[in-house]
Amino acid sequence: MKARNGLWLNAAIALGAFLISGAGTLLAQQQRVGASQRPVGPCPPAEQRPAQGGATGAAACPTPTPRTSDNVIIGDPASCPPGIADQQRDKDRDIFRFDRYDRADEDANRVAADTWIAHNGEMPKIKAPPVEFSDPDKPIPLSFIISYGLASDHVWRGINWSEYPGEGREKPNHQAGAGAEFDAGAFGVFGGTVWFDWFAGTDTMTGRSSGVPLESDYTAYWRYPIRSIGLTPEVGWSYIRFNAFEETSQELYARIQFDDSRLWGTQSAFLNPYVFYAIEYHQTDWTSWLEFGIKPRWVMADVSALAEIPVIRDMWFSPSLSVGWDFGYIGDITEVSPALPQGGREQRCANGVAGLEVGYDIGHAFNMPKEYGSVIVIGFLNYSCALGNSILSDELWGGIKVAYLW
């Protein structure tokens, strides 16, 4: 749907103000929660340490039993050297802290262990629970998702693929997809997806039956989370078939996601920034697309003030903001059909997209056992603002989708 610049600019400003206000509130809540969950140091206070080997009080530290309750691993030395003042002991305790156990955090824990050894001698061996793959609640390291959605338009990188001159009232787009992932542990995550879009106006726009998908996408990818530094690189290949236009395209892409939870001091990623770059091959031409953006996912149950409120506790919000840079992609890909806007190939900033998703976890709300997966409902609204590309127009679209995840 075409958008008038003045009206939607005001709407975008209002949405931005709302997101900034909500983000500040959520960040404050998560920081308070994080501050209340500090790790436990290896030595208890002096008044709680019984005598050992003839030494008393601050001069001795018993060997506590290692515990892994609440997934916290405590480094416990065989004894604390006598004669160390409590103040210095507290300083050493702050130097060495184990975070919640995670396979990808082993490097950080190894550095912490070396620090302890440098101050206190040999580190006792603590056996951590084995981790086969990232989700211990699943019997096998396999995940999949099936989804169906209804959208007002199919807009991709600023191009409205389901609008044509004289369309009049909006015709719906039916969108369905499926995907699967295999967690190979130390070798990363391997996955694949398929996605289809059926446009109710395909027959008018192209002369072909509306039963023919407007577009079919097939993607294979590999992802490797590096949690010690908060980065998740992903590389993949996509085969895109524009069925209604009898054209095809292929893409090789790379994406890097940054977990900024340590930067903000929150329990999970707060802004979730990413960089995306794709090289597209269409007919005999090579073009590319560069994108920067943020897309956090704020779960209401993670906010202590909202965790016990019915309905609200089962919701999550995912605002997004991205800017795309076109390296000839738009001018090339729109050549698949004269029904699409035509123009030359440009190398400039193309568009900016602001969006909001609101999800509701039906499975969690109705106490659906985790081993049976979950069902979620998502409503979304997006606005694409043409920044410099002469082919693009401002677009506003939205819709709703339902997904089953396991």
Which residues, listed in sequence order, are joined to residue 146 by a DSSP beta bridge?
178, 404
Which of residues 87 and 312 earns the better pLDDT score?
312
Question: How many residues in the chain?
Answer: 406
Cα angle 49, 121, 227; round to 5: 95
Residue 284 and residue 375 in contact, taking contact as beta carbons nearer than 8 Å: no
Query: Quick check: 68 pLDDT over 90?
Result: no
Dihedral, 367, 370, 371, 375 alpha carbons, nearest 10: 80
- Given a cut of 50, whether residue 133 has pLDDT beyond it is no
pLDDT over 60 at 128, yes or no: no
Contact at 8 Å (CB) between 308 and 267?
no
Chain segment 13-54, per-residue pLDDT in tens: 555 555 555 555 555 555 554 444 444 444 445 455 444 444
How far, in Å, CA of 406 to CA of 401, rounded?
Answer: 17
Tell me, what's the pLDDT at 9? 47
Under DSSP, is residue 298 helix (H, G, I), strand (E, B) or coil? strand
Q: Residue 114 has which token pair? A: 């070396």
Find the helix or strand (DSSP H, E) in which 349 lies.
Answer: strand 347-361
pLDDT (0 to 100) of residue 162: 85
- CA–CA dist 285, 251 (Å, integer): 12
Q: Would you state the structure tokens that stand for residue 113, as one six-digit string?
A: 């262990």
pLDDT band with cut points at 50, 70 and 90 for residue 137: low
The pLDDT assigned to 73 comes to 40
In this structure, what are the phi and psi dihedrals at residue 374, rounded to the nearest 5 degrees? Answer: -150, 160
Half-sphere exposure of residue 402, counting CA atoms within 13 Å on the CB side? 3
Calpha distance 374→358 (Å, rounded): 16
Mutual orientation of helices 86-95 and 106-120 as an angle, nearest 10°? 160
Q: Indicate the residue type of 3.
A: A
Contacts of 392 (CB under 8 A, 6+ apart): 158, 159, 330, 341, 350, 351, 384, 386
Average pLDDT over residues 165-183: 87
Closest CA to 388 of 337, 354, 356, 343: 343
Question: Each residue of 360-394: pLDDT tens digit?
Answer: 999 888 888 888 889 999 999 999 999 877 788 89
Distance CA 239, CA 250 (A): 5
The DSSP symbol for 367 reads T
What is the residue type of 213? P
Q: What is the mean pLDDT of residues 311-325?
A: 93
pLDDT of 253 higher than 90: yes
Mean pLDDT, all residues of the chain = 75
E strand or H helix at 293: strand 285-294
> Cβ-count burial of 329 within 10 angstroms (0-12 exposed, 13-18 middle, 19+ buried)?
buried
How far apart are the C-alpha atoms of 221 and 286, rounded to whole Å?
21
Residue type, 201: G
Return phi, psi of residue 371, to 5°: -70, -15
- Rounded Cα distance between 333 and 343, Å, is 11
